[in-house]
Chain A
Amino acid sequence: MSELELFLHPGNLRLIWTSFLMTASLSVLGCGIGFLAGFFLALMRNPRIVPFAPARWFAIVYTETFRRIPFLVKLMVVLFAFQFAGLNVSLFTIAVTTVALTAAAFASENVRAGLESIHANQWDAAEAMNMGGFTALWRVILPQAWPVMIPPSMTYSVGLVKSTSIASQIGLFELTYAARIMTNKGISAGLAFGTILILYFVLCYALNRFAAWLEVRLATTRHRRA
Protein backbone atom coordinates (compact mmCIF):
# COMPACT_ATOMS: atom_id res chain seq x y z
CA MET A 1 0.00 0.00 0.00
CA SER A 2 1.13 3.56 -0.65
CA GLU A 3 1.69 5.97 2.23
CA LEU A 4 -1.47 7.89 1.37
CA GLU A 5 -3.54 4.70 1.34
CA LEU A 6 -2.14 3.78 4.73
CA PHE A 7 -2.94 7.23 6.04
CA LEU A 8 -6.49 7.36 4.66
CA HIS A 9 -7.31 3.84 5.77
CA PRO A 10 -10.45 3.96 7.96
CA GLY A 11 -8.54 2.25 10.78
CA ASN A 12 -5.89 4.93 10.69
CA LEU A 13 -8.38 7.79 10.54
CA ARG A 14 -10.20 6.26 13.51
CA LEU A 15 -6.85 6.11 15.33
CA ILE A 16 -6.25 9.81 14.71
CA TRP A 17 -9.78 10.76 15.75
CA THR A 18 -9.70 8.64 18.93
CA SER A 19 -6.34 10.03 19.99
CA PHE A 20 -7.50 13.58 19.24
CA LEU A 21 -10.52 13.06 21.48
CA MET A 22 -8.19 11.70 24.14
CA THR A 23 -5.94 14.77 24.04
CA ALA A 24 -8.96 17.08 23.95
CA SER A 25 -10.74 15.44 26.87
CA LEU A 26 -7.52 15.18 28.87
CA SER A 27 -6.90 18.89 28.35
CA VAL A 28 -10.43 20.09 28.98
CA LEU A 29 -11.15 17.84 31.93
CA GLY A 30 -7.72 18.33 33.52
CA CYS A 31 -7.78 22.11 33.12
CA GLY A 32 -11.41 22.31 34.20
CA ILE A 33 -10.89 20.36 37.41
CA GLY A 34 -7.54 22.09 37.95
CA PHE A 35 -8.91 25.60 37.60
CA LEU A 36 -11.80 24.88 39.92
CA ALA A 37 -9.37 23.52 42.51
CA GLY A 38 -7.00 26.44 41.93
CA PHE A 39 -9.85 28.87 42.46
CA PHE A 40 -10.55 27.39 45.88
CA LEU A 41 -6.84 27.31 46.70
CA ALA A 42 -6.69 31.03 45.99
CA LEU A 43 -9.69 31.63 48.25
CA MET A 44 -7.98 29.62 50.97
CA ARG A 45 -5.00 31.96 50.67
CA ASN A 46 -7.15 35.06 51.18
CA PRO A 47 -7.58 35.87 54.88
CA ARG A 48 -10.65 38.00 54.14
CA ILE A 49 -12.46 34.95 52.81
CA VAL A 50 -10.95 32.09 54.81
CA PRO A 51 -9.54 33.51 58.05
CA PHE A 52 -7.83 30.26 58.97
CA ALA A 53 -4.03 30.25 58.88
CA PRO A 54 -3.41 26.49 58.30
CA ALA A 55 -5.62 26.61 55.19
CA ARG A 56 -3.49 29.47 53.92
CA TRP A 57 -0.25 27.62 54.63
CA PHE A 58 -1.46 24.52 52.83
CA ALA A 59 -2.46 26.53 49.78
CA ILE A 60 0.86 28.35 49.67
CA VAL A 61 2.96 25.21 50.04
CA TYR A 62 0.90 23.39 47.42
CA THR A 63 1.05 26.21 44.91
CA GLU A 64 4.71 26.94 45.35
CA THR A 65 5.66 23.26 45.11
CA PHE A 66 3.55 22.14 42.18
CA ARG A 67 4.47 25.10 40.01
CA ARG A 68 8.09 24.06 40.22
CA ILE A 69 7.98 20.36 39.35
CA PRO A 70 8.41 19.35 35.68
CA PHE A 71 5.32 17.80 34.11
CA LEU A 72 7.00 14.47 33.38
CA VAL A 73 8.17 14.13 36.98
CA LYS A 74 4.69 14.89 38.26
CA LEU A 75 3.26 12.32 35.85
CA MET A 76 5.59 9.63 37.21
CA VAL A 77 4.90 10.60 40.81
CA VAL A 78 1.15 10.37 40.22
CA LEU A 79 1.57 7.03 38.44
CA PHE A 80 3.56 5.55 41.31
CA ALA A 81 1.38 7.17 43.95
CA PHE A 82 -1.65 5.38 42.53
CA GLN A 83 0.30 2.13 42.35
CA PHE A 84 1.58 2.58 45.87
CA ALA A 85 -1.95 3.18 47.12
CA GLY A 86 -2.95 -0.06 45.47
CA LEU A 87 -5.42 1.67 43.21
CA ASN A 88 -5.79 0.21 39.78
CA VAL A 89 -6.73 3.22 37.71
CA SER A 90 -6.59 3.90 34.00
CA LEU A 91 -3.75 5.79 32.35
CA PHE A 92 -6.32 8.43 31.49
CA THR A 93 -7.10 8.96 35.19
CA ILE A 94 -3.41 9.30 35.95
CA ALA A 95 -2.92 11.84 33.17
CA VAL A 96 -6.02 13.86 34.11
CA THR A 97 -4.89 13.94 37.72
CA THR A 98 -1.48 15.22 36.70
CA VAL A 99 -2.90 17.91 34.43
CA ALA A 100 -5.36 18.95 37.16
CA LEU A 101 -2.67 19.12 39.87
CA THR A 102 -0.54 21.28 37.59
CA ALA A 103 -3.36 23.55 36.46
CA ALA A 104 -4.51 24.01 40.06
CA ALA A 105 -1.14 25.41 41.12
CA PHE A 106 -1.03 27.90 38.27
CA ALA A 107 -4.69 28.85 38.44
CA SER A 108 -4.29 29.50 42.14
CA GLU A 109 -1.62 32.08 41.37
CA ASN A 110 -3.68 33.73 38.64
CA VAL A 111 -6.79 33.92 40.78
CA ARG A 112 -4.81 35.28 43.70
CA ALA A 113 -3.31 37.97 41.46
CA GLY A 114 -6.80 38.80 40.23
CA LEU A 115 -8.23 39.12 43.72
CA GLU A 116 -5.31 41.21 44.88
CA SER A 117 -5.64 43.55 41.92
CA ILE A 118 -8.91 44.82 43.40
CA HIS A 119 -8.38 47.67 45.82
CA ALA A 120 -8.97 46.88 49.50
CA ASN A 121 -11.44 49.76 49.71
CA GLN A 122 -13.93 47.68 47.71
CA TRP A 123 -13.85 45.07 50.47
CA ASP A 124 -14.08 47.75 53.16
CA ALA A 125 -17.15 49.32 51.60
CA ALA A 126 -18.84 45.94 51.25
CA GLU A 127 -17.98 44.92 54.78
CA ALA A 128 -19.16 48.21 56.28
CA MET A 129 -22.51 47.58 54.55
CA ASN A 130 -22.81 44.21 56.20
CA MET A 131 -22.13 42.21 53.07
CA GLY A 132 -20.68 38.82 53.97
CA GLY A 133 -17.32 37.74 52.61
CA PHE A 134 -18.78 35.52 49.92
CA THR A 135 -21.41 38.02 48.84
CA ALA A 136 -18.71 40.67 48.49
CA LEU A 137 -16.54 38.22 46.59
CA TRP A 138 -19.28 37.20 44.19
CA ARG A 139 -20.99 40.54 43.62
CA VAL A 140 -18.18 43.05 43.94
CA ILE A 141 -14.72 41.54 43.71
CA LEU A 142 -14.94 38.75 41.12
CA PRO A 143 -16.79 40.77 38.47
CA GLN A 144 -13.87 43.19 38.57
CA ALA A 145 -11.21 40.49 38.86
CA TRP A 146 -12.24 38.15 35.99
CA PRO A 147 -10.60 40.29 33.32
CA VAL A 148 -7.34 40.09 35.26
CA MET A 149 -7.58 36.36 35.94
CA ILE A 150 -8.75 34.90 32.66
CA PRO A 151 -6.15 35.88 30.05
CA PRO A 152 -3.11 34.43 31.87
CA SER A 153 -5.08 31.34 32.84
CA MET A 154 -6.02 30.69 29.23
CA THR A 155 -2.50 31.29 28.00
CA TYR A 156 -1.38 28.78 30.55
CA SER A 157 -4.03 26.24 29.50
CA VAL A 158 -2.71 26.33 25.97
CA GLY A 159 0.71 25.57 27.36
CA LEU A 160 -0.75 22.69 29.32
CA VAL A 161 -2.43 21.24 26.22
CA LYS A 162 1.01 21.03 24.73
CA SER A 163 2.35 19.35 27.88
CA THR A 164 -0.24 16.59 27.57
CA SER A 165 1.92 15.13 24.79
CA ILE A 166 4.23 14.01 27.59
CA ALA A 167 1.51 11.59 28.72
CA SER A 168 2.51 9.45 25.71
CA GLN A 169 5.51 8.53 27.85
CA ILE A 170 3.35 6.39 30.11
CA GLY A 171 1.59 4.90 27.11
CA LEU A 172 -1.57 7.00 27.06
CA PHE A 173 -3.16 6.82 23.65
CA GLU A 174 -3.19 10.53 22.83
CA LEU A 175 -2.11 12.48 19.74
CA THR A 176 1.64 12.19 20.13
CA TYR A 177 1.38 8.48 20.81
CA ALA A 178 -0.81 8.11 17.72
CA ALA A 179 1.85 9.82 15.61
CA ARG A 180 4.40 7.30 16.80
CA ILE A 181 2.08 4.41 15.92
CA MET A 182 1.57 5.91 12.46
CA THR A 183 5.31 6.13 11.80
CA ASN A 184 5.67 2.51 12.95
CA LYS A 185 3.03 1.54 10.38
CA GLY A 186 5.16 3.10 7.65
CA ILE A 187 3.62 6.54 7.36
CA SER A 188 6.32 9.17 7.03
CA ALA A 189 7.14 11.25 10.10
CA GLY A 190 6.35 14.41 8.14
CA LEU A 191 2.78 13.34 7.44
CA ALA A 192 2.17 11.80 10.88
CA PHE A 193 3.55 14.66 12.93
CA GLY A 194 2.23 17.24 10.46
CA THR A 195 -1.24 15.87 11.08
CA ILE A 196 -1.05 16.07 14.86
CA LEU A 197 0.56 19.50 14.60
CA ILE A 198 -2.57 20.73 12.85
CA LEU A 199 -4.81 19.01 15.41
CA TYR A 200 -2.91 20.54 18.36
CA PHE A 201 -3.28 23.90 16.68
CA VAL A 202 -7.02 23.39 16.20
CA LEU A 203 -7.44 22.48 19.86
CA CYS A 204 -5.41 25.42 21.14
CA TYR A 205 -7.10 27.83 18.78
CA ALA A 206 -10.49 26.65 20.00
CA LEU A 207 -9.32 27.28 23.58
CA ASN A 208 -8.23 30.79 22.64
CA ARG A 209 -11.62 31.52 21.09
CA PHE A 210 -13.31 30.19 24.21
CA ALA A 211 -11.09 32.46 26.34
CA ALA A 212 -11.99 35.49 24.27
CA TRP A 213 -15.67 34.65 24.59
CA LEU A 214 -15.36 34.11 28.32
CA GLU A 215 -13.59 37.42 28.79
CA VAL A 216 -16.42 39.30 27.13
CA ARG A 217 -19.05 37.24 28.89
CA LEU A 218 -17.64 37.74 32.39
CA ALA A 219 -16.43 41.31 32.04
CA THR A 220 -18.55 43.94 33.76
CA THR A 221 -21.45 45.28 31.78
CA ARG A 222 -19.56 48.45 31.10
CA HIS A 223 -16.72 46.65 29.39
CA ARG A 224 -19.07 44.41 27.50
CA ARG A 225 -20.80 47.44 26.11
CA ALA A 226 -17.55 49.09 25.05
Chain B
Amino acid sequence: MPQLVIEGLSARYGTTPVLTDVNLSVERGEIVAIIGPSGSGKSTLLRVLVGLLKPQSGSVTVAGQQVNYDSAAALKQVRDRFAVVFQQFNLFQNMTALRNVTIAPTIVKKRSNSEVQAEAKRLLQKVGLGDKFNSYPDELSGGQQQRVAIARALALRPEVLLLDEVTSALDPELVGEVLDTIRTLAEEGMTMILVSHEMAFVREVAGKVVFMADGKVVEVGPPQQIFDNPQAQRTRDFVRRILRH
Protein backbone atom coordinates (compact mmCIF):
# COMPACT_ATOMS: atom_id res chain seq x y z
CA MET B 1 0.00 0.00 0.00
CA PRO B 2 1.46 3.39 -0.96
CA GLN B 3 2.14 5.81 1.89
CA LEU B 4 0.39 8.61 0.05
CA VAL B 5 -1.96 8.69 -2.91
CA ILE B 6 -3.12 11.95 -4.45
CA GLU B 7 -5.95 11.64 -6.96
CA GLY B 8 -7.48 14.35 -9.10
CA LEU B 9 -6.45 17.07 -6.65
CA SER B 10 -7.41 20.63 -7.58
CA ALA B 11 -7.10 23.85 -5.62
CA ARG B 12 -7.42 27.55 -6.21
CA TYR B 13 -6.40 30.84 -4.62
CA GLY B 14 -9.59 32.84 -4.78
CA THR B 15 -10.70 32.24 -8.34
CA THR B 16 -7.27 31.46 -9.76
CA PRO B 17 -6.73 27.73 -10.21
CA VAL B 18 -3.32 26.78 -8.83
CA LEU B 19 -3.55 22.99 -8.94
CA THR B 20 -5.48 21.06 -11.56
CA ASP B 21 -6.16 17.35 -11.43
CA VAL B 22 -2.90 16.34 -9.75
CA ASN B 23 -2.24 12.60 -9.41
CA LEU B 24 0.73 11.23 -7.52
CA SER B 25 1.57 8.27 -5.37
CA VAL B 26 4.42 7.96 -2.90
CA GLU B 27 5.64 4.64 -1.52
CA ARG B 28 6.97 4.23 2.00
CA GLY B 29 10.64 5.15 2.03
CA GLU B 30 10.44 6.72 -1.39
CA ILE B 31 11.91 10.11 -2.21
CA VAL B 32 9.82 12.03 -4.68
CA ALA B 33 11.17 15.26 -6.13
CA ILE B 34 8.89 17.87 -7.64
CA ILE B 35 10.48 20.18 -10.16
CA GLY B 36 9.09 22.79 -12.48
CA PRO B 37 9.11 26.50 -13.25
CA SER B 38 8.07 28.91 -10.52
CA GLY B 39 4.35 29.35 -10.23
CA SER B 40 3.77 25.78 -11.33
CA GLY B 41 2.07 24.78 -8.08
CA LYS B 42 4.87 22.75 -6.46
CA SER B 43 4.80 24.56 -3.13
CA THR B 44 1.03 24.86 -3.28
CA LEU B 45 0.75 21.09 -3.49
CA LEU B 46 2.64 20.80 -0.19
CA ARG B 47 0.47 23.50 1.39
CA VAL B 48 -2.64 21.61 0.37
CA LEU B 49 -1.31 18.35 1.78
CA VAL B 50 -0.94 19.86 5.26
CA GLY B 51 -4.20 21.76 5.02
CA LEU B 52 -2.81 25.29 4.81
CA LEU B 53 -4.90 25.60 1.65
CA LYS B 54 -8.17 23.71 1.24
CA PRO B 55 -8.43 21.53 -1.87
CA GLN B 56 -11.28 22.23 -4.25
CA SER B 57 -11.74 18.64 -5.32
CA GLY B 58 -9.93 15.33 -5.49
CA SER B 59 -8.67 13.10 -2.74
CA VAL B 60 -5.60 12.57 -0.61
CA THR B 61 -5.15 9.15 0.93
CA VAL B 62 -2.54 8.67 3.62
CA ALA B 63 -1.69 5.12 4.68
CA GLY B 64 -4.96 3.88 3.21
CA GLN B 65 -7.07 6.53 4.90
CA GLN B 66 -8.71 9.26 2.87
CA VAL B 67 -8.27 12.70 4.41
CA ASN B 68 -11.29 14.90 4.89
CA TYR B 69 -9.84 18.42 4.87
CA ASP B 70 -13.11 19.87 6.18
CA SER B 71 -12.89 17.94 9.41
CA ALA B 72 -10.75 19.46 12.14
CA ALA B 73 -10.03 16.02 13.59
CA ALA B 74 -8.93 14.60 10.24
CA LEU B 75 -6.80 17.66 9.61
CA LYS B 76 -5.11 17.18 12.95
CA GLN B 77 -4.40 13.59 12.08
CA VAL B 78 -2.92 14.34 8.69
CA ARG B 79 -0.72 17.08 10.15
CA ASP B 80 0.55 14.50 12.59
CA ARG B 81 1.74 12.37 9.70
CA PHE B 82 3.41 15.16 7.73
CA ALA B 83 6.01 17.69 8.72
CA VAL B 84 6.96 20.64 6.56
CA VAL B 85 10.26 22.42 6.17
CA PHE B 86 9.66 25.79 4.58
CA GLN B 87 11.68 27.77 2.09
CA GLN B 88 12.00 30.67 4.54
CA PHE B 89 12.61 28.30 7.51
CA ASN B 90 9.77 29.91 9.48
CA LEU B 91 11.54 29.34 12.77
CA PHE B 92 9.83 30.93 15.75
CA GLN B 93 11.88 34.08 16.22
CA ASN B 94 11.14 34.35 19.92
CA MET B 95 12.55 30.94 20.80
CA THR B 96 15.98 29.38 20.96
CA ALA B 97 16.93 26.65 18.50
CA LEU B 98 16.25 24.04 21.17
CA ARG B 99 12.85 25.49 22.08
CA ASN B 100 11.90 25.62 18.40
CA VAL B 101 12.47 21.88 18.27
CA THR B 102 10.79 21.01 21.57
CA ILE B 103 7.72 23.22 21.50
CA ALA B 104 5.40 21.17 19.31
CA PRO B 105 6.26 17.77 20.83
CA THR B 106 5.73 19.10 24.36
CA ILE B 107 2.88 21.57 23.86
CA VAL B 108 0.95 19.87 21.07
CA LYS B 109 1.80 16.21 21.44
CA LYS B 110 2.15 16.41 25.23
CA ARG B 111 5.15 14.16 25.34
CA SER B 112 7.28 14.14 28.45
CA ASN B 113 9.55 17.13 28.68
CA SER B 114 12.76 15.31 29.57
CA GLU B 115 12.32 12.79 26.79
CA VAL B 116 11.65 15.53 24.24
CA GLN B 117 14.63 17.58 25.46
CA ALA B 118 16.94 14.62 24.99
CA GLU B 119 15.57 13.84 21.56
CA ALA B 120 15.74 17.48 20.45
CA LYS B 121 19.37 17.72 21.50
CA ARG B 122 20.13 14.52 19.64
CA LEU B 123 18.40 15.85 16.52
CA LEU B 124 20.22 19.19 16.68
CA GLN B 125 23.49 17.31 17.04
CA LYS B 126 22.55 15.20 14.08
CA VAL B 127 22.10 18.26 11.86
CA GLY B 128 25.42 19.57 13.13
CA LEU B 129 24.18 22.17 15.59
CA GLY B 130 25.19 20.59 18.88
CA ASP B 131 26.73 23.90 19.94
CA LYS B 132 23.74 26.08 19.05
CA PHE B 133 21.02 24.89 21.42
CA ASN B 134 20.58 28.31 23.00
CA SER B 135 21.01 30.47 19.91
CA TYR B 136 18.09 32.48 18.62
CA PRO B 137 17.20 32.29 14.92
CA ASP B 138 18.60 35.75 14.20
CA GLU B 139 21.95 34.65 15.62
CA LEU B 140 22.19 31.79 13.12
CA SER B 141 23.12 31.74 9.43
CA GLY B 142 20.48 30.77 6.89
CA GLY B 143 21.92 27.29 6.54
CA GLN B 144 21.95 26.81 10.31
CA GLN B 145 18.38 28.07 10.59
CA GLN B 146 17.26 25.68 7.90
CA ARG B 147 18.95 22.79 9.71
CA VAL B 148 17.15 23.77 12.91
CA ALA B 149 13.93 23.73 10.88
CA ILE B 150 14.74 20.22 9.69
CA ALA B 151 15.42 19.09 13.26
CA ARG B 152 12.15 20.71 14.32
CA ALA B 153 10.29 18.79 11.62
CA LEU B 154 11.95 15.52 12.57
CA ALA B 155 11.03 15.99 16.23
CA LEU B 156 7.42 15.66 15.13
CA ARG B 157 8.27 12.11 14.02
CA PRO B 158 6.51 12.47 10.69
CA GLU B 159 5.75 9.61 8.36
CA VAL B 160 6.41 11.88 5.41
CA LEU B 161 8.74 14.86 5.39
CA LEU B 162 7.77 17.68 3.03
CA LEU B 163 10.65 19.90 1.97
CA ASP B 164 9.63 23.09 0.21
CA GLU B 165 12.58 24.54 -1.74
CA VAL B 166 14.61 24.37 1.41
CA THR B 167 17.79 25.67 -0.18
CA SER B 168 16.32 28.43 -2.36
CA ALA B 169 16.68 31.14 0.24
CA LEU B 170 20.25 30.21 1.13
CA ASP B 171 23.56 31.66 0.04
CA PRO B 172 25.27 29.26 -2.38
CA GLU B 173 28.00 28.28 0.07
CA LEU B 174 25.38 27.22 2.64
CA VAL B 175 23.39 24.96 0.35
CA GLY B 176 25.75 22.02 0.73
CA GLU B 177 25.31 21.65 4.50
CA VAL B 178 21.53 21.48 4.16
CA LEU B 179 21.69 19.00 1.27
CA ASP B 180 24.07 16.84 3.33
CA THR B 181 21.48 16.72 6.08
CA ILE B 182 18.77 15.65 3.65
CA ARG B 183 21.10 13.07 2.12
CA THR B 184 21.54 11.52 5.58
CA LEU B 185 17.78 11.30 6.01
CA ALA B 186 17.49 9.71 2.57
CA GLU B 187 20.00 7.04 3.56
CA GLU B 188 17.94 6.34 6.67
CA GLY B 189 14.87 5.61 4.58
CA MET B 190 12.81 8.68 5.39
CA THR B 191 9.84 9.16 3.06
CA MET B 192 10.19 12.59 1.53
CA ILE B 193 8.56 14.88 -0.96
CA LEU B 194 11.10 17.38 -2.04
CA VAL B 195 10.34 20.50 -4.04
CA SER B 196 13.67 21.58 -5.37
CA HIS B 197 15.65 23.48 -7.96
CA GLU B 198 18.84 21.59 -7.14
CA MET B 199 18.75 19.34 -10.16
CA ALA B 200 22.00 17.49 -9.51
CA PHE B 201 20.80 16.71 -6.01
CA VAL B 202 17.39 15.61 -7.24
CA ARG B 203 18.99 13.28 -9.74
CA GLU B 204 21.14 11.82 -6.98
CA VAL B 205 18.58 11.18 -4.23
CA ALA B 206 15.13 11.03 -5.83
CA GLY B 207 13.55 7.73 -6.79
CA LYS B 208 10.89 9.51 -8.73
CA VAL B 209 10.74 12.95 -10.30
CA VAL B 210 7.54 14.86 -10.95
CA PHE B 211 7.60 17.69 -13.44
CA MET B 212 4.85 20.23 -12.90
CA ALA B 213 3.79 23.23 -14.94
CA ASP B 214 0.76 25.51 -14.66
CA GLY B 215 -0.63 23.58 -11.73
CA LYS B 216 -0.60 20.27 -13.56
CA VAL B 217 1.61 17.22 -13.42
CA VAL B 218 3.17 17.05 -16.87
CA GLU B 219 5.41 14.04 -16.46
CA VAL B 220 6.40 11.56 -13.77
CA GLY B 221 9.30 9.18 -14.05
CA PRO B 222 12.65 8.07 -12.68
CA PRO B 223 15.35 10.77 -12.79
CA GLN B 224 17.03 9.15 -15.79
CA GLN B 225 13.84 9.54 -17.79
CA ILE B 226 13.11 13.10 -16.76
CA PHE B 227 16.62 14.45 -17.16
CA ASP B 228 18.00 12.32 -20.01
CA ASN B 229 15.01 11.24 -22.01
CA PRO B 230 11.97 13.37 -21.18
CA GLN B 231 8.80 12.29 -22.93
CA ALA B 232 6.77 15.51 -22.90
CA GLN B 233 7.79 18.56 -24.89
CA ARG B 234 7.37 20.89 -21.89
CA THR B 235 9.64 18.72 -19.79
CA ARG B 236 12.21 18.68 -22.56
CA ASP B 237 12.14 22.49 -22.79
CA PHE B 238 12.42 22.95 -19.04
CA VAL B 239 15.23 20.43 -18.60
CA ARG B 240 17.15 21.82 -21.54
CA ARG B 241 16.87 25.33 -20.12
CA ILE B 242 18.00 24.50 -16.60
CA LEU B 243 20.74 22.07 -17.50
CA ARG B 244 22.32 24.48 -19.94
CA HIS B 245 23.92 26.41 -17.10
Contacts of A140 in B (CB 8 A): 92, 94-95
Q: Is A212 an interface residue (CB 8 A)?
A: no
- For this complex, 21 residue pairs linking A to B, each with C-beta atoms less than 8 Å apart, are A121-B88, A121-B90, A122-B93, A124-B86, A124-B90, A125-B86, A125-B90, A125-B91, A126-B92, A128-B50, A128-B52, A129-B79, A129-B108, A135-B108, A139-B103, A139-B107, A140-B94, A140-B95, A143-B94, A220-B94, A221-B94
Cα A140 to Cα B90 with chains together (Å): 11
- B92 contact from A125, A127, A128, A221, Cβ within 8 A: A125
Q: Which of A124, A126, A130, A143 has the most CB of B within 10 A?
A: A130
B165: min CB distance to chain A, Å = 13
Determine whether the beta carbon of A128 is less than 8 Å from that of B94. no
Q: Footprint of A on B, CB under 8 Å? A: 50-52, 76, 79-80, 82-84, 86, 88, 90-96, 103-104, 107-109, 136, 138, 156
- A130 contact from B76, B90, B96, Cβ within 8 A: B76
Contacts of B51 in A (CB 8 A): 127
- A144 contact from B52, B79, B90, B93, Cβ within 8 A: B93
Q: Footprint of B on A, CB under 8 Å? A: 121-122, 124-131, 135, 139-140, 143-144, 220-222
Residue of A nearest to B88 (CB): A121
A48: min CB distance to chain B, Å = 11
A136: min CB distance to chain B, Å = 9
Residue of B nearest to A118 (CB): B93
Determine whether the beta carbon of B79 is less than 8 Å from that of A130. yes
- B80 contact from A126, A130, A131, Cβ within 8 A: A130
Contacts of B138 in A (CB 8 A): 222
Cα A125 to Cα B103 with chains together (Å): 12
Residue of B nearest to A120 (CB): B90
Contacts of B82 in A (CB 8 A): 128
Cα A131 to Cα B104 with chains together (Å): 7
Q: A122-B90, A129-B156, A140-B95 are in contact. List 7 more A-B contacts (CB 8 A).
A: A124-B90, A130-B109, A131-B107, A139-B107, A222-B94, A222-B136, A222-B138
A125: min CB distance to chain B, Å = 4
B176: min CB distance to chain A, Å = 24
Contacts of A221 in B (CB 8 A): 94, 96
Q: A121-B90, A143-B94, A144-B93 are in contact. Are A128 and B108 (CB under 8 A)?
A: no
Contacts of B84 in A (CB 8 A): 125, 128
Contacts of A222 in B (CB 8 A): 94, 136, 138
Cα A140 to Cα B96 with chains together (Å): 12
B31: min CB distance to chain A, Å = 20
Cα A15 to Cα B24 with chains together (Å): 80
Cα A220 to Cα B91 with chains together (Å): 14
Contacts of B86 in A (CB 8 A): 121, 124-125
Residue of B nearest to A127 (CB): B52
A124: min CB distance to chain B, Å = 6
Determine whether the beta carbon of A135 is less than 8 Å from that of B94. no
A126: min CB distance to chain B, Å = 8
Cα A41 to Cα B170 with chains together (Å): 39
Residue of B nearest to A138 (CB): B107
Cα A140 to Cα B138 with chains together (Å): 15
A102: min CB distance to chain B, Å = 31
Contacts of B83 in A (CB 8 A): 128-129
Residue of B nearest to A142 (CB): B94
Contacts of A127 in B (CB 8 A): 51-52
> 6 nearest interchain CB pairs?
A125-B90, A220-B94, A129-B104, A143-B94, A121-B90, A222-B136
Q: A122-B90, A129-B79 are in contact. Are A135 and B52 (CB under 8 A)?
A: no
Residue of A nearest to B78 (CB): A130
Cα A205 to Cα B79 with chains together (Å): 50
Cα A129 to Cα B86 with chains together (Å): 12
Contacts of A129 in B (CB 8 A): 79, 83, 103-104, 108, 156
Contacts of B109 in A (CB 8 A): 130
Cα A222 to Cα B88 with chains together (Å): 21
Contacts of B107 in A (CB 8 A): 131, 135, 139
Contacts of B93 in A (CB 8 A): 122, 144, 220
Determine whether the beta carbon of A144 is less than 8 Å from that of B108. no
